[in-house]
Amino acid sequence: MNQNLFDGILRSRYLNYRIIAASDVLLSVFSTFLSLTLLVFFFRISLSTSFIFLILALSAALSICCFWALRTYRGIIRHSGLLESFRLIVAAFVKTMLIGVFLYFLSVPISGRAQLVGLIFDFCFTYSFLLLFRSFCILIYRLVSRNQYGDSALRLVLVYVGDETNQPLSFDLLEGLSRSYGIVGYLRFGDKISLRLGNHPLFSVKSETDFRKLIADEHIHSILFTRREHLDAERDRLVRLCERCHVQMLQLPSPDRVGDARKPMMRRLPEVRIEDLLGRPEIKIDMQNIIDELHGKVVLVTGAAGSIGSELCRQLCTFGLKRLVLFDIAETPMHNIRLEIEDNFPNVDIVPIVGDVRIAARVDYVMREYHPQAIFHAAAYKHVPLMEENPCEAVLANVVGTRILADAAVKYGVERFVMVSTDKAVNPTNVMGASKRLAEIYVQSLSMSISKGETPGKTRFITTRFGNVLGSNGSVIPRFREQLEKGGPLTVTHPDIIRYFMTIPEACRLVLEAAVMGQGNEIFVFDMGTPVKIADLARRMIDLAGLTPDVDIKIEYTGLRPGEKLYEELLATKENTLPTPNEKIFRAHVREYERAEVVAAIDRLKVVAETVDRVATVREMKRIVPEFKSKNSIYEELDHETNA
């Protein structure tokens, strides 16, 4: 029974306001009774029973009026602050003054001096009891939550504030978080100071010893970062401490993801992953222009169940679309993203469709049935070694599939077609990169033909190019994490291999920005900062796990995989970049392609790929994309044929 009571307290949003109101009135009347008792004791006066009942009834009636007028019972007690305390003071003062006014007009056997003292007693007692009642409720809530922490969903959290002394969490955020998190206080580094932010203490630590003691004393489960800047600044200090002490790190979602702070999504904050702590500061994009452009429209996302496609869908769900059409061949991932969207965005009209971009009839049905006004094309085969072994499938999915979808977009009057490409398409050294470059070339030729009036249509084709996406399916970070959990070793192909990295949300923001910024026939390139050595990334992950590289966990070098190169490029040497309104995004000024030649070349490539002749397929790809030079691959010998 006690367990059920504790669970009820923890899971309830707040005490019923009727209970609070009744308790306040009873405490107020008791304060008046206590004041009368003290008057009798100190001033040696005699009061009739009828007079005492009259004053108590008057106190009850006035208390009800004052508390109702000031809404003292409506706040959530555990989040009470200075404003609530002020309400209590005003309510107690007004109630006391009104009693004084009534006593002035009544014939009472009490001297003026005794009345003044009694009124002072009544005010002090009323305010004190109301305040103590709320403090008691807060204390009980915290004790219960702490004692029941191990068996309940509530997790005790410290909020990191850096050097700031302003309360970082609003009332709405506190209320939204309170269902699953118990905010114990705020955390900073520095000398200890006695300070409170709102109703919570500010804890200061100077060393790892201080941090460990604080975590143990307060039974802390998680550290919450409210700003990405704090997380970036604390990579080498607080993040390391959390890893060593096995303290979970949480990050408050960006305002565009939070929406209503009291919605269920605030009950389970995203955990900070190691991949969120690498590279450069997070890219910021003004989402309002994107929302204005896409609001009320029908949007189609291909590859909607993949890493990029699913995140695109999550962000698009906040834009007020008329309808979101999800298109993917993977049944189970599609089922999962559908359930997630239905749970988190119940008001969004979504249409999940299982289909293959390589099947023209299926694509035509989707376009004919739903008439999307914008398409985000993220469907593709992306794994370099796998596509090196299956080049025919890479061509059919990445090249022919893109062609089918692009032609359908023009046929049905789609306004914008945004293609997700990769830095591996620049001077490709593998089949996957070459297939994406071929898809780019087809889209560019079609867009150019439309702009010249050679092909009827209004669709604007935009391509986005970026590097490796952290945490995506099959990427290096999840692989390293699995190897860490098994005790190592961490496998790296080459000690000097480098890659550009970006997070999945950043990649999707870039795609969305391009959708609005693009006027057609552009390739947008992301300024991804300095590339990261994969070996350094492996050491970083070992270090953040509280272990020593090459001592606790070994790093092994396995050699470059087929088609893999040491570094990636974002722009081919024949391309120039132009600035855009976003300083982190550049526009590649690309060379033009004649559509008739491209169509004929893709037709030949499709015929060869359908024969499932791997060598012949790659040979044809190299003829169309002469800069495609294989690395560490069985297809290197074809480069000699081309050169000859």
10 Å CB burial of residue 422 (0-12, 13-18, 19+) is buried
128 and 175 housed in the same domain: no
Residue 329 has pLDDT above 80, yes or no: yes
Q: Tokens at residue 476, please?
A: 């290096």
Average pLDDT over residues 623-636: 90
Q: Is residue 474 part of a domain?
A: no
pTM: 0.64
Instruction: Kindly state whether residues 133 and 218 are assigned to the same domain.
Output: no
pLDDT digits (tens, 9 = 90+) for 496-506: 888 777 777 77
Q: Which of 159, 234, 229 is nearest to 201 (CA)?
A: 159
- Bridge partner list, 239: none
Please enumerate in sequence order all residues whose Cβ is within 8 A of that of 260, keeping only pairs 6 or more positions apart, or say none. Answer: 172, 176
Strand partners, 532: 499
**Contact between residue 642 and residue 417 where contact means Cβ atoms under 8 Å apart:** no
Which of 118, 147, 176 terminates a domain? The answer is: 147
Q: Please give the residue that has the higher pLDDT: either 499 or 284.
A: 499
In the listed set 90, 120, 147, which residue is the last one of a domain according to the structure? 147
> Any idea which residue has 């009571």 for tokens?
5
**Degrees, nearest 5: CA angle 440-444-448:** 175
What pLDDT was estimated at residue 367? 97
For residue 311, report the phi and psi dihedrals to the nearest 5 degrees. Answer: -70, -35
Neighbours of 545 (CB within 10 A): 19
Q: Are residues 452 and 368 in the same domain?
A: yes
pLDDT for 161 equals: 83
pLDDT, residue 281, reads: 58
Average pLDDT of 3-10? 46
Helix (H) or strand (E) run with residue 486 in it: none
Same domain, 46 and 101: yes
**DSSP secondary structure of 487-523:** T-PEEES-TT-EE-EEEHHHHHHHHHHHHHH--SSEE
SS3 content of the chain, % helix, strand, coil (to 5): 50, 15, 35
Q: Are strands 585-589 and 576-579 parallel, antiparallel or unpaired?
A: antiparallel
Residue type, 607: V
User: Quick one: 259 and 113 in the same domain?
Assistant: no
Listing from the earlier edge strand, what are the strands of the sheet with 196-197? 196-197, 200-205, 181-189, 155-160, 222-225, 248-251
Q: Does some domain include residue 170?
A: yes
Positive or negative CA dihedral for 494, 499, 502, 507?
negative
Angstrom distance (rounded) from CA 215 to CA 207? 12
Percent of the chain with pLDDT over 70: 79
**Is residue 548 in some structural domain?**
no
Q: Which residue in the block uniquely carries the two structure tokens 């109703």?
A: 199
Beta bridge partners of 501: 468
Rounded to an integer, what distance in angstroms lies between the CA atom of residue 326 and that of residue 204? 48
The whole-number average pLDDT for the span 102-118 is 75
Confidence of residue 75 (pLDDT cuts 50, 70, 90): low
The first and second tokens of residue 358, run together, are 């390589």
**What is the pLDDT of the chain when averaged over all its residues?**
80
CATH at 374: 3.40.50.720
pLDDT digits (tens, 9 = 90+) for 351-377: 999 999 999 999 999 999 999 999 999
* CA separation for the pair 614, 388 (Å, rounded): 9
Are residues 267 and 302 located together in one domain of the fold?
no
Q: Same structural domain for residues 522 and 383?
A: yes
Give domain status of residue 250, yes or no: yes
**Is residue 393 included in any domain, yes or no?**
yes
Structure tokens at 198: 């709102």
Please check whether residue 538 lies inside any domain of the structure. no
Instruction: Residue 237: give its domain's CATH number.
Output: 3.40.50
Among 232, 247, 272, the domain boundary falls at 272
Write the DSSP symbol of residue 261. T
In a domain, 457, yes or no: yes
Tens-place pLDDT, residues 426-447: 889 999 999 999 999 999 999 9
Q: How far apart are the first and last CA of the chain?
A: 86
Q: Do 168 and 62 lie in a common domain?
A: no
Query: 214 lies in which domain range?
Result: 153-272
Total of domains in the chain:
3
Max Cα separation, the chain? 121
Strand duo 498-499 + 532-533: pairing: antiparallel
- At 261, the pLDDT band (50, 70, 90 cuts) reads very low
In angstroms, the Cα distances linking 50 to 24, 53, 122 are: 24, 5, 19
Q: Residue 399 has what DSSP assignment?
A: I
Question: Which distant-in-sequence residues (6+ apart) come within 8 Å of 577 by Cβ?
Answer: 525, 571, 586, 587, 588, 589
Same domain? For 597 and 614 the reply is yes
Residue 14's pLDDT is: 45
Alpha helices (H) along 106-219:
112-147, 171-177, 208-218
Tell me the pLDDT tens digit for each residue of 185-241: 888 888 877 676 766 788 888 888 889 888 988 888 888 887 777 877 777 788 778
**Same domain, yes or no, for 140 and 178?**
no
pLDDT at 273: 59
Report the 3 state secondary structure along 343-380.
HHCCCCCEEEEECCCCCHHHHHHHHHHHCCCEEEECCC
| Beta carbons within 10 angstroms of residue 562's beta carbon | 20
Report whether pLDDT(85) > 70.
no
573 and 524 housed in the same domain: yes
d(CA 630, CA 565): 9
Given CA atoms 389, 393, 396, 397 in this order, what sign does their dihedral have? negative
Residue 494 lies in a domain: no
Determine contact, residues 314/341, Cβ cutoff 8 Å. yes
Q: Which residues is 589 bridged to in the sheet? A: 576
Closest among 269, 268, 270, 352 to 310, alpha carbons compared: 352
Q: Which of 41-50, 218-227, 471-480, 573-582 has the lowest mean pLDDT?
A: 573-582
Do 165 and 309 lie in a common domain?
no
Closest CA to 181 of 190, 189, 193, 173: 173
Q: How far apart are CA 56 and CA 112, in angstroms?
A: 19
Predicted confidence band of residue 379 (pLDDT cuts 50, 70, 90): very high
Place of tokens 């072994």: 389
